[in-house]
Amino acid sequence: MNSEPNQAAASLAALRAENRTRMYARAFWGLMVRDAHVLKREFVPFLSRTLMQPLLFVFVFAYLFPKIGQGFGGAAAAGAATAAGRATFATILLPGLMAVAIILQGIAAVALPLAVEFGGTREIEDRVMAPLPVAAVAFEKIVFSSFQSIIAASVVFPLAYYIPAQPVAVHINNWPLLIVIVILSSLTAGALGLTIGTAVKPQQIGLVFSMILVPLTFLGCVYYPWASLSVVRWLQVGVLLNPLVYISEGLRTCLTPNLPHLPTWGILLALVISGSILTLVGMRGFLRRVIS
């Protein structure tokens, strides 16, 4: 007797849930379309900020220095060489520069605009008023920034591959793993951007580069494989706190597997853990900033 109204109530609830999911999905998609529109309009500045640093880096250290005969990177290359045969500094550098490009997008695409919006313009308020949970607005930032990271990594690859004077040894044996690592890395970078963007005041923006980005990259196994740090053991352990290490090493695993690198399972686990923690912290920061 009772089952009919119960069924009706259940189907009504199911319908509501479906409508709600559709409402959220559409709003989320709307946010993505907006970000894509803005990126399209600002594609040239986006490309130049993405390309300039790796372009000059590769040109000076992997093209000019070998031509001049200066031995920069020789020790690292030699260290790697003992473990992996003939690896050039350019080979070490390729995954590293892609990792930097990925992390830099997280900061440039999420942290900087957010800090400005929270600090002064408050223009985020309209997006916060969209009909979806506020945490989803924050998550959209991470997702969209990860697309930018993927584009950035893709445009840095040919630079780091073709410009160096020395041969670059790239072997991609496991495409699915490469895709997984790139996606996880990009999401982690976006989450890091969200955490930074919601934590710093706009007047501290300058410090983000000097106090966060510079130490992250210099101690992020970008210019040397993690294994070669064994000569300075405390540093080798210490840098494991740096999420960029797993991005660099992850790309090294996939692109230059002949170089020594961290175990794959460890990289995946660390990326998932650091990505999740940064996402949670970033979302909490975002909620704190928009809801009082």
What b/e string do you get for 243-261 counting C-beta neighbours within 10 Å, with b at 16 or more? bbbbbbbbbbbbbbbbbbb
Please say which residue, 168 or 290, places its beta carbon nearer to another protein: 290
Supply the minimum distance, in Å, between the C-beta of residue 140 and another protein: 11
Nearer to another protein, 22 or 171 (CB): 22
Q: How many angstroms separate the CA atoms of 117 and 111, rounded?
A: 10
The contact set with another protein (CB under 8 A) reads: 20, 22-24, 26-27, 29-31, 33-34, 37-38, 41-42, 121-134, 290-292
- CA separation, residue 56 to residues 62, 68, 149 (Å): 10, 16, 19
As measured in angstroms, the least distance from the Cβ of 270 to another protein is 34
Nearer to another protein, 129 or 280 (CB): 129
Nearer to another protein, 130 or 159 (CB): 130
Residue 163: count other Cβ atoms within 10 Å of its Cβ.
17
Min separation Cβ 287 and another protein, Å: 10
CB of 148 to another protein, least distance (A): 14
Of 139 and 157, the one with the shorter C-beta distance to another protein is 139
Nearest distance from C-beta of residue 208 to another protein, angstroms: 20
